[in-house]
Structure 1
Amino acid sequence: MFTSLSGRTAIVTGGSRGIGKGIAKRFGAAGLNVLVVSRSLDEASAVAAEVGPHAAGFAADVTNEAACAAMAAAAIDRFGSIDVLAANAGIFPAARLGEMTGADFDHVISTNLKSSFLTVSACLPAMKAQGQGRIVLTSSITGPITGYPGWSHYGASKAGQLGFMRTAAIELAPWNITVNAVMPGNIMTEGLDGLGADYLAKMTASIPMKRLGSVDDIANAALYFASDEAGYVTGQQLVIDGGQVLPESLGAIEAMG
């Protein structure tokens, strides 16, 4: 059983849907105050209402330094501290090399990777002042471990998050601030709806556990990294994929019987 996190404050970026929404709701159920951050205040506030009375919505473009500073200030004004940052904001528009533009690449890198740097930087003064903090990045198996056509920019951003994490963990350790990452496989969210039934069926067939993950699978891991029990864990990544990266070939899946 985790030590109570009741009364602590978490910021969850990209919190209006999918994994971010799941993390926000899991944190709220554990007793944390939650600032749900999205580009849309209406969407963030709707999720905050689901989380409960100790949650609030906030609109911010996390690729903008001033907006990230305003986000951190809002958390402190509303709840009095910043104990946990779940840097979850991310996009994954498909574009193959030869068709992808420089603007396409920059947009994904800025949203997925630069935002990790900016949100962490915005939360550091509060975390350093209180001598503790938990930072949880949402990376992916795509990029650090696997690849998928059309997602070279996405893969680069997610691998980049892990490089950022390792040095950030070293730099921030003196203030008892940990930096870790969850690495989801294929998780059933709204973001997969447009990929089609055939894609979903093929992805499910490639996973040894024979199911797509749920947002709760990721949220539970994020909660662990946010806990006191994870206080001696930093600079680490946790793959949550139902064993997807394990088979060496389709033959290994078929041999399962």
Structure 2
Amino acid sequence: MTLLDGQVALVTGAGGGIGRGIARRFAEEGAAVALHCRTSVGAARETVGRIRDAGGAAVVLRADLTDEDACRRLVEEAADWGGGRLTALVNNAAVQPVRELPGMTAAAWREVLDANLTGVLVCTRTAAALMRGQDGGGTVTHIASIEAGAPAPGHAHYGASKAAVVAHARAAAQEYGPWGVRVNTVSPGLIDREGLADAWPDGVRRWLGAAPAGRLGRPEDVGDACVFLASRLASWITGHDLVVDGGVGARPTW
């Protein structure tokens, strides 16, 4: 018996590396998974094919998560596909542009906060309403970042959005708890992707030197954390930020 047998999950931003890793781990643990994407349709479909080839159930759903109505429709479509049930939502979709504060416009600021927060708010609200009437309730997990507390230069808007995601989860844990809905966040550190070492050799070198675990993170590491929080093993955990950073946060800063 696997950890998520019988669950129906929606993972947003599942065309990207972390989202694909989360979706694969949910499927491996027995969940039927709806993979959301906006533009990365090919990557999402490839992941769905892998899940189906392994005997799992998966589907691709498209939506623009800056649009409130589209967010609502996405969650409802995932539940319809799941036979009227949705037991887990992972809010992973986000953007991470680099822009220094002295030249940042209000429009650029709003673009990141809207992209990273609107979907979290509306998808969570819609999913919680569906989960409220279900036996066993459900879980919502936001993908935040260690940059919520320690933003990198050029990432003020991104760090602020992720700090807001953590705060939203803590507030939602209080308000949706009586509905049987647990809400948590996972805050990853540097997660490896194809070409990262070539594109940012200095950053990768510095990370490897700072991480007690001695490696970059993998999408599956984030997926494992999300599986745990969605499983019965975490039935008394809500309003928590689970840091997945290979121990970087444990290092002194002086």
TM-score by length of 2: 0.92
Q: What secondary structure does 2:203 align onto?
A: helix
Which residue matches 2:180? 176
Deviates more, 1:108-117 or 1:83-92: 108-117
Q: What secondary structure does 2:102 align onto?
A: coil
Q: Which amino acid aligns with 2:50?
A: E
Q: Which amino acid aligns with 2:138?
A: G
Which of the residues 136, 142, 147 maps onto 2:147?
Answer: 142
**Matched positions, count:** 248
Q: What secondary structure does 1:85 align onto?
A: strand
Task: Encode CA deviations 1:34-71: one digit per residue, 9 max, x unaligned.
Answer: 00001034443222222224000011111211111211
Distance 1:117 1:147 in 2: 22
C-alpha displacement of 1:221: 0.7
Which residue matches 2:62? 59
Identity fraction in percent: 35
Decide whether aligned partners of structure 1 residues 25 and 230 sit closer, same or farther in structure 2, where only a CA change above 3 A counts. Answer: same
Decide whether aligned partners of structure 1 residues 117 and 9 sit closer, same or farther in structure 2, where only a CA change above 3 A counts. Answer: same
Are residue 240 (structure 1) and residue 244 (structure 2) matched? yes
Q: How does 1:81-100 map to 2 (within 5 A)?
A: 81-100=85-104
Q: What secondary structure does 2:14 align onto?
A: coil
Which residue matches 1:6? 5
Q: Which amino acid aligns with 2:236?
A: Y
Compute the RMSD of aligned alpha carbons.
1.8
Q: Which runs of 5+ in 1 are unaligned?
A: 251-257
Distance 1:106 1:33 in 2: 34
Distance 2:140 2:235 in 1: 11
Q: What secondary structure does 2:103 align onto?
A: coil
Task: Encode CA deviations 1:125-181: one digit per residue, 9 max, x unaligned.
Answer: 21111150100110011022x121000000000100111111100111111100011
Which residue matches 2:190? 186
Distance 2:194 2:89 in 1: 23
Q: How does 1:76-225 map to 2 (within 5 A)?
A: 76-80=79-83, 81-131=85-135, 132-144=137-149, 146-190=150-194, 192=196, 195-225=199-229
Q: Which amino acid aligns with 1:140?
A: S
Distance 2:208 2:124 in 1: 34
Decide whether aligned partners of structure 1 residues 135 and 190 sit closer, same or farther in structure 2, where only a CA change above 3 A counts. Answer: farther
Contact preservation (8 Å) 1:45, 1:58: no
C-alpha displacement of 1:215: 1.1
Q: How does 1:16-27 map to 2 (within 5 A)?
A: 16-27=15-26
Task: Encode CA deviations 1:206-231: one digit per residue, 9 max, x unaligned.
Answer: 21222111111111110000001211
Contact preservation (8 Å) 1:36, 1:55: yes
Q: Which runs of 5+ in 2 are unaligned?
A: none
Distance 2:174 2:195 in 1: 33
C-alpha displacement of 1:192: 4.1
Task: Encode CA deviations 1:96-152: one digit per residue, 9 max, x unaligned.
Answer: 0112222211111111122211110121221111150100110011022x1210000
Contact preservation (8 Å) 2:2, 2:29: no
Are residue 50 (structure 1) and residue 50 (structure 2) matched? yes
C-alpha displacement of 1:4: 4.1
Q: Which amino acid aligns with 2:49?
A: A
C-alpha displacement of 1:195: 4.1
